[in-house]
C-alpha cells in the first residue's frame, strides 16, 4: 500500500504542471506549419494534434519539437522546471529508429539539472527493455574499480569459448533487473555461479565477473557517449524490482514513466504517469516539499508584497546587510535575510500548504504513531522506538550548524586527555560578534577569543539513553546522533541542576571552517599547575534559539546565584 494516496500525489505532482513540451522526430513544428506548403502528410500529425489538445485541455501551455536540441534548449533556458512535463519519443533518430542515444542524453541532462522534471517516455520497444537502458544510463548498478574490473576481464579472457557460450546461455534478463535494482544476485544468478565454480573461479571473484558480464551486456545496447556520461550511484530507483507495470525510473531531479506507444491514447498517458508515481511511492516529506514549492510559485507577487511589508522595514532589513563589517558578515546577513523572507512567504500561503500536509500525515492512533512514522519515512522496521523518539527530540532542540562565527548554543566535541569531551557555548551571541569587546582582556587576547562553555556529560548506552528519553520533558539533556549513534548530553546536573562551566580560548575568534575550529583548554599538569592544551574541535549541531537562550539564562543565574551565604538544613542521615 502506498504511503501517500493517489489523490494527494496528483495534487503535488500533476496539478502544478503549467507547461508541457512534446518532442518526437515525427511531429510537425509550428514553424513548418506556418510556412507555405508546410504541412507534411508523412509526419504523425494526428498524434501530435491529439497530445497538443490533451495538454491545452488541461490548461497547460504546450510546445512541440522534433529535435533533441529543443528539449535541451528549454532546460538550459530554465523553461523546464518544477513539476513541468516532457513527453519524449524514445527513438528520435530519423535515420536509425532503434537508436535511443538522443532521448537518453536528454534524460541524463535533466537528472543533473537544477529543476525537478517529469518525463513520459513513449516507445515502440518493450517498456521493460527501455527501463533497463534508462536506469543504466542514469547510473544504476554497482560500479567496479579499474583494478577489480581488469582482474575480472582476465578471468573472462581465460575461459574456454565453450564455457563462455554456456555462461551466455545461463545469463538471464532477471540478472540484469536485479543488478539495476540493487537487489541481491544470488537467486537469479545461481546457474551462472555454478558454472564459474565448476571452472575453479574463486568465489570472491565471482561477483566482479558477474557485474562485468552484466555491464558488458547493457553497454552493448548503448553508444559510448551515453556510457561516458553515466554517473554510477545507488540513488537510482527503478520499477525493475517488480515484474508488474507501470515502468519508471527516478534519480536526482528526474522521474521517468515509460509507456508503450500502443497505450498512448492521450487520456491514457497522464493516467500512466500518475500510476507510475504511485508505484514509485515517494516519501511523504518529499511530497510535502513538492506541493509547498508549487504553492509558493503559484502565490505570485501579491504574496511577495505582503512579505515585504513597509518601506521602513525593508530599509532596515537591507541596512543590516550594508552595515556588515566584512564580506563574510555581509554574506551571513544575506543568508539570514533570505531565511526570514522565505519564512514570511511560506506563512503568507500557509493555510493551503498546512492543509495539504495535514491531509497527507494523518495518524491512525497515538499507539501506532511510531510504526506509521517508520513506514512513511522508509525506515527499517526493526528500528527501535527509542531511535525514533531520539530523532524527534534532536529535531526539536537542534539544527545543523553552518560555518562561520561561534555563537550561543553551538554544540561541539574534542579529544581531551585521550577521551572525547562535549561542550555547548553559553556566551551571549552579542559578545561573540566580530568587533565586540575590543578593549580590556578580550581585546588584548585577540585574535584568541575567551568563551564561556558548559561541559556536557555524554550517555551513549542504548539502554541508558532509553531511560533518559522516558523522562525527556525534564529538560536536562541535549539529544543528538553523533557518528550515527544516539547520544544524550547532560547539560544540567541531576541533583543541583547546575552546569559545569569553564572558559575556552578559541583561535581566530572561534571561526568555524569545514565544521571545525581550534582552541585551548586549561588543564592541570602533574604539579597541579594550569597549562593550556590545544584541541581541534568538531561542531556537532546548533541549538535552536529557545533552547540556547534557556541555557544562556541558566548559566547567567548560576554565575550570580541568590543565597550564596545560605546554610543547608542537615538531613536525618547526617
Domain boundaries along the sequence of the chain = 6-139+230-282, 146-219, 287-362, 385-559
What pLDDT does residue 421 have?
95
What pLDDT does residue 38 have?
63
According to DSSP, the β-strands at 516-524 and 500-506 are: antiparallel
Distance CA 194, CA 416 (A): 55
- In the sheet that 117-123 helps form, which strands lie side by side, from edge to edge? 61-65, 19-23, 84-89, 117-123, 254-260, 247-251, 237-238
Distance CA 521, CA 126 (A): 67
pTM of the model: 0.77
According to DSSP, the β-strands at 254-260 and 117-123 are: parallel
Contacts of 523 (CB under 8 A, 6+ apart): 416, 417, 530, 531, 533
Q: State whether residue 518 is helix, strand or coil.
A: strand
Q: Which three cell numbers stand for residue 99?
A: 537508436
What pLDDT does residue 318 have?
80
What pLDDT does residue 467 have?
92
State the first-to-last Cα distance of the chain, in angstroms, to the nearest integer.
65
257, 261, 262, 265: CA torsion to nearest 10: 80
* Residue pLDDT tens, the chain, 574 long: 568 889 999 999 998 888 888 888 777 766 666 565 566 776 778 888 888 888 888 888 888 776 655 555 555 555 554 458 888 888 877 666 678 898 899 899 888 887 788 999 988 888 899 999 999 999 998 888 889 889 989 998 888 889 889 888 888 888 888 888 887 666 788 888 888 888 888 888 888 888 888 898 899 889 999 999 988 877 888 888 776 778 999 998 899 999 988 766 777 888 999 999 999 999 898 898 888 888 777 765 555 566 676 777 778 878 888 888 788 778 888 888 887 777 777 766 667 787 888 888 877 666 688 888 888 888 888 888 899 999 999 999 999 998 888 999 999 999 998 899 999 999 888 777 776 666 777 777 888 889 999 999 999 998 999 999 998 988 889 999 998 899 999 998 888 788 999 999 999 888 999 999 999 999 988 889 999 999 999 999 999 988 888 888 888 766 665 665 666 667 666 5
CA distances (Å), origin 128, targets 92, 125, 255, 263: 19, 9, 16, 14
What pLDDT does residue 493 have?
86
Q: State whether residue 158 is helix, strand or coil.
A: coil
For the segment(s) 6-139+230-282, the CATH number from 3.40.50.2300, 3.30.1490.190, 1.20.140.10, 3.90.180.10 is 3.40.50.2300
Distance CA 83, CA 90 (A): 20
Q: Which three cell numbers stand for residue 34?
A: 506556418
Q: Which three cell numbers stand for residue 457?
A: 556529560
DSSP code, position 404: B
Burial 171-202 (b: 16+ CB within 10 A, else e): beeebbbbbbbeeebeebbeebbebbeeeebe
Distance CA 298, CA 301 (A): 9
Amino acid at each position: 500500500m502506498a504511503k501517500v494516496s493517489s489523490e494527494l500525489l496528483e495534487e503535488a505532482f500533476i496539478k502544478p504542471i503549467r507547461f508541457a513540451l512534446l518532442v518526437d522526430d515525427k511531429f510537425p513544428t509550428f514553424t513548418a506549419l506556418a510556412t507555405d506548403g508546410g504541412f507534411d502528410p508523412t509526419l504523425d500529425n494526428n498524434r501530435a494534434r491529439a497530445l497538443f489538445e490533451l495538454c491545452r485541455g488541461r490548461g497547460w501551455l504546450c510546445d512541440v519539437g522534433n529535435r533533441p536540441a529543443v528539449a535541451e534548449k528549454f532546460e538550459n533556458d530554465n523553461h523546464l522546471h518544477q513539476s513541468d512535463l516532457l513527453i519524449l519519443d524514445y527513438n528520435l533518430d530519423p535515420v536509425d529508429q532503434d537508436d535511443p542515444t538522443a532521448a537518453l542524453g536528454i534524460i541524463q541532462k535533466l537528472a543533473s539539472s537544477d529543476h525537478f522534471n517529469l518525463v513520459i517516455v513513449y516507445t515502440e520497444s518493450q517498456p521493460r527493455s527501455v527501463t533497463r537502458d534508462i536506469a543504466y544510463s542514469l547510473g544504476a548498478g554497482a560500479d567496479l574499480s579499474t583494478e577489480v574490473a581488469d582482474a575480472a576481464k582476465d578471468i573472462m579472457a581465460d575461459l574456454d569459448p565453450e564455457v563462455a557460450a554456456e555462461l551466455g546461455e545461463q545469463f538471464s534478463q532477471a540478472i540484469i533487473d536485479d543488478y539495476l535494482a540493487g537487489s541481491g544476485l544470488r537467486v537469479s544468478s545461481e546457474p551462472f555461479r555454478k558454472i564459474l565454480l565448476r571452472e575453479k573461479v574463486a568465489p570472491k571473484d565471482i561477483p566482479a565477473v558477474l557485474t562485468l558480464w552484466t555491464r558488458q551486456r547493457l553497454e552493448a545496447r548503448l553508444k559510448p557517449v551515453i556510457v561516458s556520461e553515466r554517473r554510477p550511484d545507488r540513488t537510482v530507483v527503478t520499477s525493475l524490482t517488480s515484474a508488474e507495470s507501470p515502468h519508471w525510473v527516478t534519480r536526482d531531479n528526474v522521474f521517468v514513466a515509460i509507456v508503450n506507444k500502443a497505450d498512448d491514447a492521450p487520456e491514457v498517458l497522464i493516467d500512466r504517469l500518475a500510476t507510475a508515481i504511485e508505484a514509485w511511492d515517494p516519501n511523504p516529506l518529499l511530497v510535502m516539499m513538492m506541493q509547498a514549492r508549487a504553492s509558493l510559485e503559484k502565490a505570485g507577487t501579491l504574496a511577495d508584497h505582503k512579505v515585504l511589508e513597509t518601506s521602513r522595514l525593508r530599509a532596515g532589513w537591507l541596512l543590516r546587510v550594508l552595515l556588515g563589517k566584512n564580506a563574510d558578515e555581509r554574506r551571513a546577513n544575506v543568508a539570514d535575510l533570505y531565511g526570514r523572507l522565505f519564512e514570511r512567504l511560506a506563512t503568507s500561503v500557509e493555510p493551503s500548504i498546512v492543509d495539504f500536509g495535514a491531509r497527507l500525515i494523518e495518524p491512525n492512533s497515538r499507539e501506532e504513531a511510531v510504526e506509521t512514522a517508520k513506514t512513511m519515512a522508509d525506515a527499517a522496521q526493526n528500528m527501535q522506538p527509542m531511535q525514533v523518539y531520539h530523532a524527534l527530540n534532536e529535531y526539536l532542540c537542534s539544527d545543523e550548524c553552518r560555518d562561520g562565527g561561534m555563537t550561543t548554543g553551538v554544540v561541539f566535541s574534542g579529544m581531551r586527555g585521550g577521551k572525547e569531551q562535549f561542550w555547548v557555548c553559553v556566551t551571549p551571541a552579542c559578545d561573540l560578534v566580530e568587533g565586540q569587546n575590543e578593549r580590556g582582556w578580550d581585546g588584548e587576547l585577540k585574535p584568541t577569543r575567551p568563551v564561556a562553555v558548559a561541559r556536557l556529560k555524554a550517555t551513549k548506552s542504548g539502554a541508558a539513553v532509553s531511560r533518559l528519553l522516558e523522562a525527556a520533558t525534564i529538560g536536562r539533556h541535549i539529544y543528538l546522533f553523533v557518528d550515527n549513534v544516539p547520544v544524550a548530553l547532560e547539560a544540567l546536573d541531576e541533583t543541583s541542576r547546575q552546569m559545569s562551566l569553564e572558559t575556552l580560548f578559541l583561535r581566530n575568534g572561534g571561526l568555524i571552517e569545514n565544521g571545525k575550529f581550534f582552541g585551548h583548554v586549561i588543564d592541570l599538569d602533574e604539579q597541579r599547575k594550569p597549562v593550556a592544551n590545544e584541541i581541534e574541535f568538531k561542531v556537532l549541531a546548533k541549538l535552536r534559539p529557545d533552547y540556547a537562550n534557556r541555557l544562556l539564562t541558566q548559566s547567567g543565574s548560576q554565575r550570580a546565584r541568590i543565597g550564596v551565604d545560605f546554610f543547608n538544613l542537615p538531613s536525618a542521615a547526617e
